[in-house]
């Protein structure tokens, strides 16, 4: 019985030490994350092996694991940029990005965990200033937003794509112009719209006038052709046909054959 405390004390100490070692060695990586292993006595950051995947891992207590989110993420940024004529423009943009999974070790070794502030944001800002500086405020406000968005993405991708980062998209969400410039542009757009509407009405009226002229010309040509085809003989034949049809009706009438002008029958009246 006297030996029990002497044996129990080292055992308790060993258990506590084991618990501490396990707690220091245990690494839990959640969904959408990956771990970069850093070996204190093994050459530092592991770059020639895939990162640690989701789940529970045991590593040596003198090593360390840096956990990264590898799902697609979104960053919002408000920027002050200059147009081609030197006016201040506020650009609200966002970017979709994620680290390259297989190159996570290289990203950690060469850039670090704050790669967003070191690479992505400065590159987007630089690209936005370069692209917006090619356009006038009117182009930024109306017709060129899609082109600006595409060009900012392309210029950003040239740099970010070489830094172990995947850039999925850059979105231009809003372009804010100085109030006086915005009002002038809107006024000009309204005037252009009114001018287009007026030109449409003129074109419609001109087409209607052309239609009426063509219709009138067609009627005139038809009457001229008809008049040219109605000879005296045809008129006499038509008159005789009409007289015969009338004579067959039940109504009583007097028909004098050959007593009208040009020898046409005359209907004197009904009884």
Mean pLDDT of 231-257: 61
- What pLDDT score does 1 carry? 47
Please provide the DSSP assignment of the chain as one string: -THHHHHHHHHHHHHHHHHHHHHHHEEEE-TTEEEEEEETTTTEE--SSPPB-SEEEE--TTSEEEEEE-S-EEEEEEEEEE-TTS-EEEEEEEEEEEE-GGGHHHHHHHT-TTHIIIIIHHHHHHHHHHHHTTS-HHHHHTT-HHHHHHHHHHHHHHHHTTTTEEEEEEEEEEEE--HHHHHHHHHHHHHHHHHHHHHHHHHHHHHHHHHHHHHHHHHHHHHHHHHHH--HHHHHHHHHHHHHHHHTSSS-EEEETT-SGGG--EEEEE-
pTM metric for this prediction = 0.63
Mean pLDDT of 129-150: 84
What confidence category does residue 17 fall into, taking pLDDT thresholds of 50, 70 and 90?
Answer: low
- What pLDDT score does 164 carry? 95
């Amino acid at each position: 019985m006297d030996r029990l405390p002497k044996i129990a004390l080292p055992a308790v100490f060993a258990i506590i030490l084991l618990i501490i070692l396990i707690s220091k060695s245990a690494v839990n990586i959640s969904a959408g994350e990956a771990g970069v292993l850093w070996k204190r006595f093994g050459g530092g950051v592991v770059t020639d092996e895939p990162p640690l995947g989701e789940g529970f891992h045991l590593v040596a207590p003198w090593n360390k694991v840096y956990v990264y989110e590898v799902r697609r993420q979104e960053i919002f940024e408000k920027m002050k940029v200059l147009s081609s004529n030197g006016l201040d423009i506020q650009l609200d943009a966002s970017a979709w990005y994620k680290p390259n999974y297989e190159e996570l070790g290289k990203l950690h070794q060469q850039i670090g965990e704050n790669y967003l502030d070191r690479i992505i944001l400065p590159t987007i800002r630089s690209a936005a200033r370069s692209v917006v500086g090619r356009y006038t405020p009117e182009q930024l406000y109306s017709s060129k937003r899609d082109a600006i968005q595409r060009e900012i993405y392309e210029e950003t991708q040239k740099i970010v794509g070489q830094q172990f980062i995947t850039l999925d998209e850059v979105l231009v969400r809003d372009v804010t112009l100085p109030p006086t410039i915005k009002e002038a542009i809107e006024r000009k757009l309204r005037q252009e719209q009114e001018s287009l509407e007026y030109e449409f009405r003129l074109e419609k009226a001109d087409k209607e006038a052309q239609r009426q002229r063509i219709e009138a010309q067609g009627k005139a040509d038809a009457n001229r052709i008809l008049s040219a085809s109605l000879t005296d003989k045809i008129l006499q034949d038509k008159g005789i046909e009409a007289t015969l049809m009338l004579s067959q009706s039940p109504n009583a009438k007097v028909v004098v054959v050959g007593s009208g002008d040009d020898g046409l029958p005359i209907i004197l009246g009904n009884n």
